[in-house]
Amino acid sequence: MTTARKVVLIIATALVIGGCAISFGAFAAADFRLENLSNMPRDWTEVTETLDAESVAAHNAIIVDSEAGDVRFEASSSDAIEVTYWKGELRNTEITDTNGELHITCTSKPRIGVMIMDFDFTDRSTVVKVPASFAGSVTVRSHEGSTTIDDMPSLSAVSVTTNNGHAHIGRSTADSVELRTENGVVDISDVTANSVEAFTRNGSVQMAFIEAAGAVTAQGGNGTISVNDLRAATLSVFAESGSIELRGIDADTVETRSQTGNQHLNDVTTGRLTAQSMQGSIDGTALVARDGASIQADTGEVSLSFTGSAEDYAIDASSASGNVHAPQGSPSATKRIVVRTTIGNIDLYLSESPSALRDEQAPGGGNGTGVPSAPVPPTAPEAPKAPSAPTA
């Protein structure tokens, strides 16, 4: 190694050691706490405002408009609405209470700087504690931040809209529930309502333990849609790019549609089942379709197991390019199961007749490859019986 290279290595080592020493000194001066290294304003003040009791001045609506920051609704042990929020140089909150309508407005200032270091681990959510006697509506419009609503027993309506953030409601009852986010997860669990609607453009949709007298709709752009343990009049699930997973469903009608992604349907009981996939497989087990089913996969395989007798259905299953295995069914039956694929095999079973299958082969041969299947070899003849022994 030349002398010049040795000098460069020595200087580089010294600079690294010096930088580490300076960093350690700065961290020590900050009492070894990352939040003390923040160069953002930290003049936060926590404020709690308690309104009159609902028995004195009842409210019919709570509206939150938030530019930034999380919003959380919780149950209150008292009969009054209580709002806790944070004020500072970067955020301000105003509360107005007029004619039974509580309006909470959270505004924020943009963070301006070249090297912004914001190490703040304190929960600075806006928290609204709502008494059980409140029977009005809850509306949240948020630009950036998540919204959580829990333990609301008697709401008239819930509407949550956010651009960037998760939306959640759980252990609540309302006439209507609508959660929408452009970027984030939508989570609805343990909810009783007349109608439920969930939408996200980028993120997953999760539904579980839903009781709805009317329609339930779940729509997603990029992400999985999962619906478990649901009872409703109608269920509609639409996914642009992502899988659909249904389990433990009981609804008068069930409709699923996906552009890119597989569909998994398990333990679904319905009057009419409709499933369509442009690119992706459709599989299901323990399916009950009292009035029939219509299944279509443009590119993808279909494998479905229905509960019932094949004699109760007129079965129409065909594939433009793929093998078809399905029961014969009864052509005179009023209920129909129609299955179509453009490219993909079809396997259709009914629990009372798993062996009564017809095998239709793809064009060109028995295995869908254009090569005819090999003939079945003949059965070998039985050997002649040995002659009986002569009688003595």
Q: What is the pLDDT of residue 338?
A: 97
Q: What is the pLDDT of residue 23?
A: 62
Distance of alpha carbon 65 from alpha carbon 256, whole angstroms: 34
- Render pLDDT for 42-79 as a digit per residue (tens, 0 to 9): 678 999 999 999 999 999 999 999 999 999 999 999 99
- Do residues 52 and 100 make contact, with C-beta atoms less than 8 angstroms apart? no
Rg (CA), the chain: 32
Distance of alpha carbon 73 from alpha carbon 174, whole angstroms: 14
Kindly compute the dihedral angle of the four CA atoms of residues 50, 52, 58, 63, in this order, to the nearest 10 degrees: -30
**Structure tokens of 316?**
């129409």
Q: 127 Cβ partners below 8 Å, 6+ apart?
A: 72, 73, 74, 83, 84, 85
- Render pLDDT for 240-279 as a digit per residue (tens, 0 to 9): 999 999 999 999 999 999 999 999 999 999 999 999 999 9
**Quick one: 43 exposed, middle or buried, by C-beta within 10 A (0-12, 13-18, 19+)?**
exposed
Return the sign of the alpha-carbon dihedral for residues 15, 16, 21, 24: positive
Cα angle value 352/355/357 (rounded, 5°): 105
Q: What is the pLDDT of residue 315?
A: 96
Q: What is the pLDDT of residue 101?
A: 97
* 253 SS3 class: strand
pTM score, two decimals? Answer: 0.79
Partners of residue 148 on adjacent β-strands: 72, 168
Q: What is the pLDDT of residue 4?
A: 74
Distance of alpha carbon 145 from alpha carbon 37, whole angstroms: 24
Q: What is the pLDDT of residue 25?
A: 65
Q: What is the pLDDT of residue 39?
A: 43
Q: What is the pLDDT of residue 114?
A: 46
Report residues of the chain scoring pLDDT below 70: 1, 23-42, 110-121, 352-392
Q: What is the pLDDT of residue 367?
A: 40
- Do residues 242 and 259 make contact, with C-beta atoms less than 8 angstroms apart? no
Q: What is the pLDDT of residue 353?
A: 44
